[in-house]
Amino acid sequence: MKRILFIAFNFVLFIQCVIAQQRPQYTQYIFNSYLLNPALSGIENYTDVKTGYRSQWTGLDGAPVTAYLSVNMPLGQNFIQGDATAFPASGGLNPASRLYTQQYQAAEPHHGVGLTVVSDKAGPFTQTNIDATYAYHLGLSSKLNLAVGVSAGFSHNVLNLSELTTADPSDPIFNSLNNNQWKPDLGIGVWAYASDYFIGLSAQQILPQNVYITSKANTYQNKTVPQYFLTGGFKFFLSDEVTLIPSVMLKYIQPIPTTYDINMKLSFADKFWIGGSYRHDDSYAGLVGLNLSSFVNIGYSYDVTTSALNTVSNGTHEIVIGILLNNRYKVSSAQHTF
């Protein structure tokens, strides 16, 4: 019986470790693509602060719960004070309007810096990633920018032994578990953007790390792998102030099959937006967002699970709050992101 319990415990431990070592997924990443691509550091003409909370597969014990804080800002007076798309201090054209698109000019070359802190808990495992980011934005033409970015930091992996229920808590294996680790973290990305389209490619966790859970007699190894994201979207005008923005994301993590998301966002001036999302073989989602002022905006999404977990999951909730600091042009929606 003890041998069976030992094998069962380590099987569960291995599965949880695999889950814990992969980055969390988001439904509202289109609202904050900076989480997936460091090239967006400093893309807007203000300090962009966002905090989010995601409860995945509610109703299922040990399901992932993710919380994050991201901050990024531009550097360089040419961009901050002389951006070709800048608005007067009292506000100006709605960035989602047709007229704004017609008058759009590429941003001045500039630098961008930022910081992300992401905590993801799945069962007894908690992974916290702390990364600083840098990007350089270059004008390729009068209408098109290209940004190249990098992120670097650390991943903190913790196994909470108090959340494990075992037949024999005094078993020596639990006293020798390596359950608190710091690992280096590195990511890269590129992002091309104009007034009516964007396309980006990024890679996270590109330094594979061996994560060990060890005892004197055995070593259980889980190796992290790079994660690749390809994203793109377009802006179509249904009227001068109403825009439709379809977008897609491909996600590749070896040896998991490539997955994809299809998103649709309908924006009403710079006041509010609604949308929908489909994640292949996983879920459907509804999204809504409000631009409350030139200081704060908010987004909410709810995912309906379509995978085999739909019998035990009550869906996924995600909320994102954005704060626009040093917003000297008093815009209430993003100028360079959709």
H, E, C per residue of 67-81: EEEEEEEEECHHHHH
Q: Is 280:261 a contact under the CB 8 Å cutoff?
A: yes
| DSSP alpha helix (H) spans, 21-147 | 77-82, 98-103
Per-residue pLDDT, 18: 44
Domains of the chain: 33-325 (2.40.160.40)
Give the Cβ contact number of residue 256 at 10 Å.
Answer: 11
8-state DSSP, 311: G
Per-residue pLDDT, 100: 74
Q: Is 72:42 a contact under the CB 8 Å cutoff?
A: yes
pTM above 0.75, yes or no: yes
Per-residue pLDDT, 61: 79
8-state DSSP, 107: P
pLDDT in tens, the chain (338 residues): 434 334 334 444 444 444 434 788 899 998 899 999 999 999 998 999 999 999 988 877 778 899 999 999 999 877 876 675 666 555 566 777 777 777 788 888 999 999 999 999 988 889 999 999 999 999 999 899 999 999 999 999 888 777 666 666 666 666 656 678 899 999 999 999 998 999 999 999 998 877 655 554 555 556 788 999 999 999 999 998 899 999 999 999 988 889 999 999 999 988 999 999 999 988 899 999 999 999 999 999 999 988 877 777 788 999 999 999 998 888 888 888 88
Size of the chain in residues: 338
Q: Which two tokens stand for residue 213?
A: 């859970």
Provide the terminal-to-terminal Cα distance of the chain, rounded to the nearest Å. 57
State which H helix or E strand residue 282 sits in: none
Nearest to 131 by CA among 181, 185, 180, 183: 185
Residue type (1 letter), 267:
S
Rounded distance between C-alpha atoms, residue 36 and residue 280, angstroms: 19
| Beta-ladder partners of 269 | none
